[in-house]
Chain A
Amino acid sequence: MINRKAIGYITANYTSREHSVLLDSRPLASIPFMGRYRLIDFPLSNLANAGIKTVGLVMPGNWRSIMDHVGHGKDWGLDRKKGGLFPLPGNPYGATKQGMRFLLRDIISSKSLFERSDKPYVVLMGTNIIFNLDLNAVIDAHEKSGVGITMVYVHAERNQEDAMSLEIGDAGRVKGFHQGCHYGDNKFLDCVVINRDLLLQIIDQYSSADYLDLFEAIRPDFERIDVCSYEYKGLAMGFFNEETYFRRSMELLDPTTANKLFMRERPILTKAHDAPPAKYFSGAVVCNSRVSAGCEIKGTVRNSIIARGVTVEAGANVVNSIIMQSCVIKTGAHVENAILDKSNVVAANTELSGTPDDILVVGKAALK
């Protein structure tokens, strides 16, 4: 059903605190993931699966790869006459590389999106943390509780200094928040339902603090505003550096884990391509791996994620690695504990290896 209650707002202009060659050519929002996806697919799909037809997308300075991927939003049902996908100018680098994901200045400059809406609520989402959530359940809970803001969290399964934790009191009221989260904390998913009227009031009342994050700005007034929490019980994964990117990706090799994120009733949607099915030749050896469409596999692949259009030649070995789109692993080459960004060609009979604790990362088209 088309959502009559909410519009969406995604901040795609946040990045990682740590430098990575994977982010030389793109913002974190459009980092390739799981062979055919990009992180931005997750907030877009969560909104699409809730029937939300108006989405503002706050852009970073290096927006090319995001626009290339999302286009007019057709793959998420956002090529609408009523509503649609609205790219919005954002702070080129994100406000802080740590902390919340909703810079007040960006929200203020997006004011007309909120003013023109006739829906009572706005769903705010970031792109660093991915999950598959029934947003309508959150919106319903928000509506029922009658509060101004509902913040979505998950019980943290690991320590993560870049995530935020919510301090939750009686009846799910959010009393405060702090940087970093430890096992068992209430890890904030950068996902919020807020009353549109309240958001417009905040834009007017807090404009002098526009250099702050939305939640930092309103922190002193939490009680007056009435901020509530909603617990998400599914799988959430945060991406803040190369290590988290590699580890979380590898965890998704396990079909049981992957099925918590990629479910048929709420599919993760992405830009459609016309790559043919992957082709395995005689002599290919593949185990515990995910392989995407358009791949040609003649060699050996173990414990790896192989993206669209990758060629693994006969006698080549790929072990414990993430190989992005259009790479070629030539015959006799050995790639282990590595992330190869798009369009790398690993020469015949060469070795390219990191260690399990120090993953080798090769930037886009660095090897030709």
Chain B
Amino acid sequence: MSKKECIAMLLAGGQGSRLGALTSKIAKPAVSFGGKYRIIDFTLSNCANSGIDTVGVLTQYRPYRLHAYLGSGSAWDLDERGGGVSILPPYATQDGGAWYAGTADAVTQNLDYIKTHDPKYVLILSGDALYRMDYREMLHTHISNDADLTVAVMPVPWEDASRFGILTADDEGRITKFTEKPEKPDSNLASMGIYIFTADFLIKTLEEDALDQRSSHDFGGDIIPKALADGKRLFVHKFEGFWKDVGTIASYHETSMDLLGPNPYFDLYDYKTPIMSNDTTRPPHYIGPDGKVDDCLVSNGCEILGTARHSVLSTDCVIGERAIVEDSVLLPGAVIKAGAHICRAIIGENAVVEEGVKLGSVDTTKDTAVVGNDVVIGKGE
């Protein structure tokens, strides 16, 4: 048995149903993002860049591609002796076994994993947001407050506050109130779904929660309100940087666009804390004699014979002659054939837009067009 300061439990089992066609065959954390990355890369890279060497990844929904992508964890330097990445799917026991019924239940079912590593603190993460964070700073906040539980929060515009789980804290940062989507918020500190628990408290709390018939076994819905009611030491850790959930089509598209431009909201080029990925080895991309690329991210293996403007082009995409791609995201292997024109669209992995097809609209009041993975869009569809 090892003794660790802090280990991470990464909740990666959700379906991500709000991403629609993009998650029909693949778990949300494994969805491609930012050209050469997958959504889980950002959280795993944060772990690696924060010096956390033990990460349990809790998986459930369509896990194969996610498991294959995680591999040994070596892509994030997380292939560590006595730690590293461990994939933790639901499992059978002598009593039968069950699916993960909620975020807290998923961790409860893996208390043995936590106890094996015997950490002082447990960091609970989810793999569905774009942000850079040094979890050591949050751990420092937690330790200096002698907290039982610390919740990472970020200030949001007051008018948006009623869309989030809102935490109210006193001057010392001690949480006094937690309200899910309040109609009249009295704070603008939104929970980022990132928690640090003192391990003993976490284990005791989850063991009690497991026995509570009325609980839905959710961190936000059950664990935090209960801990507050019990008078435990709950504190906020304020995060001031860029953080964005990529859990809906609209936010996925918007966040992708946030990577572009001379001063992007999220800078992939910050080499001090690199975003690591389990990339495929493909040759540098090719821009043809009549190719035009303006304000784009372009990944390896692409072949661009037409025009791309203000778009994210993932590995192995093809843009045919005279085709135009604007304000769009092409996922790995997407093919836009000659003369097609796509605008404000997300084109799934290995999807094909046939010659001359027009898709999407500049009208921002309309929904972003989405083509699912492997789908072929011909004329008249």
Contacts and interface: CB of A to CB of B under 8 A. Distances in A.
Contacts of B293: 280, 284, 286, 297
A134 to B, nearest CB: 18
A363 B313 CA distance: 33
A276 B283 contact: no
B284 A290 contact: yes
Interface stretch (A121-129, A144-152, A264-272, A344-352): A264-272
Contacts of A285: 292
Nearest to A254: B286
Contacts of A270: 281
B289 A35 contact: no
Interface residues of A, number: 40
Interface stretch (B10-18, B109-117, B159-167, B269-277): B269-277
A37 B274 CA distance: 21
Interface residues of B, number: 38
Interface of A: 34-37, 74-75, 253, 255, 258, 262, 267-270, 272, 274, 276-294, 296-297, 305-307
Contacts of B280: 267
Given A276-B275, A280-B295, A283-B294, A289 B287 contact: yes
Interface string B289-330: 111111111111001000000001110000000000000000
B297 A282 contact: no
Contacts of B268: 276-277, 279
A296 B269 contact: yes
A278 B283 contact: no
By secondary structure, the A interface counts as loop
B314 to A, nearest CB: 8
Contacts of A291: 284-285, 287, 298
13 contacts: A74-B74, A258-B286, A277-B34, A277-B300, A279-B268, A280-B295, A280-B297, A290-B283, A290-B286, A291-B285, A291-B287, A291-B298, A292-B284
B281 A269 contact: yes
A288 B288 contact: yes
B293 to A, nearest CB: 5
Contact of B286 (A268, A279, A282, A289): A289
Contacts of A36: 283-284, 300
A285 B291 CA distance: 9
B294 A284 contact: yes
Given A286-B291, A287-B291, A305-B284, A274 B35 contact: no
B36 interface: yes
Contacts of A282: 262, 294-295
Contacts of B286: 253, 255, 258, 289-290
Task: For the complex of A and B, list the 9 residue pairs with the smallest distance between their C-beta atoms, beginning with the closest.
Answer: A277-B35, A276-B268, A35-B284, A292-B284, A277-B299, A277-B297, A290-B284, A280-B293, A262-B283
B294 A34 contact: no
Nearest to A272: B279
Nearest to B274: A274
Given A276-B35, A276-B275, A281 B295 contact: yes
Which of A267, A277, A281, A292 has its CB near the most chain B CB atoms (within 10 A)? Answer: A277
Nearest to A267: B281
Contacts of B290: 287
Contacts of B312: 277
Given A272-B279, A276-B36, A296-B269, A255 B287 contact: no
A258 B283 contact: yes
Nearest to B290: A287
Given A269-B281, A278-B299, 9 more contacts: A272-B281, A277-B314, A279-B296, A279-B297, A280-B293, A284-B293, A285-B292, A288-B288, A289-B287
A96 to B, nearest CB: 33
Nearest to A282: B295
Contact of B289 (A272, A280, A287, A306): A287
B129 to A, nearest CB: 18
A193 B294 CA distance: 49
Contacts of A258: 283, 286
A140 to B, nearest CB: 26
A268 B287 contact: no
A232 to B, nearest CB: 21
A293 B284 contact: yes
Contact of A278 (B276, B295, B297): B297
A153 to B, nearest CB: 26
Contact of A279 (B36, B75, B269): B269
A182 B296 CA distance: 46
Interface string B17-36: 00000000000000000111
A297 B285 CA distance: 13
Contacts of A75: 281
A267 B301 CA distance: 12
Contacts of B74: 74
Nearest to A258: B283
Contacts of B297: 276-280
B36 A277 contact: yes
A235 to B, nearest CB: 14
A270 B284 CA distance: 12
Nearest to A287: B289
B361 to A, nearest CB: 22
A268 B301 CA distance: 12
A276 B295 CA distance: 15
Contacts of A269: 281
Nearest to B308: A280
B178 to A, nearest CB: 37
Contacts of A289: 286-287
A34 B269 CA distance: 22
